[in-house]
Amino acid sequence: MNTKELSLHHLIRKPKTQTEKPALLIMLHGYGSDENDLFSFAEELPDELFVISVKAPYAMQPYGNAWYAIHWDNQDGKFSDDEQAKESRDLIAKFIEEAIEAYHLDAENVTLLGFSQGSILSYAVALSYPEKIKNIIALSGYINKGILKPGYDKNDFSKLSFYCSHGSVDQVIPIEWARKSKPILDQLNIENSYSEFPVGHGVAPQNFFELREWLKERI
């Protein structure tokens, strides 16, 4: 289903059970994908959610989109374009506000669900703007401290909950990177859970069932 003119192109799934101000779940796809990717399992998410799947702003050739450029031939470990990533972080934060206003949603009940690059951005938005988010589902990503707002560690994270998961044989984002997220979140006193599944760079069925149960308890 297509939509109102907001700053990012998106698809929506309206709640199957009506409430006055529905909870919002925003899907953020991975590098080289688009808004249709994660939207394929929107129907399996809790009925009361207003689901929005967003298209990243940078078009790739021959197809697909990205939240920021990746330089595969880097020499110095700086393979992600952190400046572009920060722009996307702030664009998502702005989009959340736009969507809440345009679709009359509950500003106190916002979930971000990101995969890979979308997961990295979900961490960045939530840790930089915790007042805008309640739940974060971070799939196959990691915390890139280089794209967090300066002084983020002074923020009030008391409303946040994270569900993080990763494939133990992920060939795109090393499992070691993902395993650093829980200690960082623990240090910030943020409620979080971390799971691993014996898959590559993807979401196993049991991973999806677990995140859905986690979400049901929190919306």
Please write the tens of the pLDDT for every residue from 130-177. Answer: 999 999 999 999 999 999 999 999 999 999 999 999 999 999 999 999
Enclosing H/E stretch for 178: helix 175-179
The domains found in the chain, sorted by start residue, are: 10-216 (3.40.50.1820)
pTM to 2 decimal places: 0.94
Q: How much of the chain is helix, strand and coil, in % rounded to 5?
A: 35, 20, 45
Please write the tens of the pLDDT for every residue from 12-29. Answer: 999 999 888 999 999 999
Residue 149 one-letter amino acid: K
- Three-state secondary-structure class, residue 10: strand
211, exposed or middle or buried, with CB in 10 Å at 0-12, 13-18, 19+?
buried
- The answer to whether 188 touches 153, Cβ cutoff 8 Å, is yes
Q: How confident is the model at residue 76 (pLDDT cuts 50, 70, 90)?
A: low
Please write the tens of the pLDDT for every residue from 53-68. Answer: 999 999 998 899 999 9
Output the pLDDT for position 1. Answer: 44
